[in-house]
Structure 1
Amino acid sequence: MGIPPEGPVLDLDLPPVDPARAAVRSRRTTLTIAASIVLAMVAGGLVTHVVESSQRQARQDADVSLIALVGSAGTARSDGLTLTMEANLTLVNSGPVPVVVEQVTGDAGGLRFRSGRPTTVAPGVKSVPVTATVGCAPDLPAAPVEAVLTVRTADRKVRETSSLMIVQGTPWAFTHQQACQVMLIDPSTGEIRGYRHSSAG
């Protein structure tokens, strides 16, 4: 029995390779690989965009950008010692989405106020009714008063924020001054001689 020859064996039954067809197959393979790479890059970019958009939306949904300002003053009652008035706070929402203000409270320098039921504050300005009580003496706080806001954001979480607001020179201060006045009556004639603020003693 003979020993088979070493080295490459030429199979004479195989058809000859057409160089043109080989070049076409090579180009097709290269284009397929390139297309796969492009598709992978596009898919990766889309995933990144979706993740970034989701993160941006989450930040917006958790954002609280509220400012509280003293608004109008309505009905006021005073017994000469304490003033109770139905008033309004002006809330400014500078955030990108609406928030639900569950409650607004404040307690400083003898002034106390509290809002009623929850209210939705869209981006922009909205008045929120509050009930405020303050003693007729001393006068309203000269320093800014802190309003504490309990807020439910778009992500359904409850957060607390605060805002400083000036009370002096506002409708609240004017109502306080007017409602806490005491009539000065002439005891001999019973006529009104004038008014003084009850804080003057």
Structure 2
Amino acid sequence: MIDLDEQHHQPAQSGSTTADRLLTVRLVAAFVVGAVLGGLAVGEWRDSRAERERNAVVALVALPVSANLGGSSAQGSVELSGQLTLINTGPAPVTVRQVHAERPGVVVRSTGEGPMLPPGGARQLLVELNFECAIAFQPEPLSIRFSVESGDKQVREIGYPVALVGSDWERDARSMCAPHA
């Protein structure tokens, strides 16, 4: 402030203006740093979320391969050991824990824990098959249930329809059913 009545004209103290500017610069710098760090944190969170979502996806294809690994037949039913080819069509590795299917005339179950399947990988799983010769081979697909551990370490249940008619399982079971028909 300048007093016009006084002979010695001196400006008011400019130290407070410098302090105000310094405080403003610090606040702007803190805001910029906060925005940058916040942006990085949001980016990391999005990446982490996308990876969790990717690891949660489970997609399997199942194909009956053979059932001629030994078996027995008695009183109109056949018990066989067979193989089921599993293909991981999902984006993350999965471990097959258990396989099970059941409908009138058909029971399929895994004999132990299955393989770890990398994305795009295929493995064979040993299964036990039980068919009642008279009613087992219906035209509807058999819904096979899989218990799998996904990439995010969660156990999930999924299903996949498998056509028995025309499969190796049907051929091998029918050849053992024929002598008892």
Question: Which of the five TM-score ranges fits, normalised by the shorter chain?
Answer: 0.7 to 0.9
Asked if 1:131 is matched to 2:128, the reply is yes
Q: How many residues matched?
A: 171
Q: Aligned residue for 1:143?
A: 140
Q: Distance in 2 between matches of 1:85 and 1:35?
A: 74
Do the aligned residues in 2 keep the contact of 1:87 with 1:129 (CA within 8 Å)? yes
Asked if 1:53 is matched to 2:50, the reply is no
Q: Higher relative contact order by CA 8 Å / sep ≥ 6: 1 or 2?
A: 2
**Which of 115, 121, 125 pairs up with 2:117?**
121
Aligned AA (2:126): P
Q: In the superposition, relative to structure 1, how do residues 69 and 9 fare at CA in structure 2: closer, same or farther (>3 Å)? A: farther
Do the aligned residues in 2 keep the contact of 1:86 with 1:132 (CA within 8 Å)? yes
Measured after TM superposition, the shift of residue 102 of structure 1 is 1.1
Q: Aligned residue for 1:78?
A: 73
**Which of 179, 182, 187 pairs up with 2:176?**
179
CA RMSD of aligned residues (A): 3.2
**SS state at 2:86 partner:** strand
Q: Aligned residue for 2:90?
A: 95
Under a length normalisation based on structure 1, what TM-score does the superposition of the two structures give? Answer: 0.70
**SS state at 2:67 partner:** strand
Aligned AA (1:118): E
Under a length normalisation based on structure 2, what TM-score does the superposition of the two structures give? Answer: 0.77
- Structure 1 gaps of 5+ residues are 1-5, 183-196
Aligned AA (2:176): A
Measured after TM superposition, the shift of residue 67 of structure 1 is 2.6
Do the aligned residues in 2 keep the contact of 1:80 with 1:181 (CA within 8 Å)? no
Q: Aligned residue for 2:166?
A: 169
Do the aligned residues in 2 keep the contact of 1:111 with 1:141 (CA within 8 Å)? no
**Which of 84, 99, 106 pairs up with 2:101?**
106
Q: Distance in 2 between matches of 1:102 and 1:51?
A: 31
- Greater gyration radius: 1
Q: In the superposition, relative to structure 1, how do residues 7 and 99 fare at CA in structure 2: closer, same or farther (>3 Å)? A: same
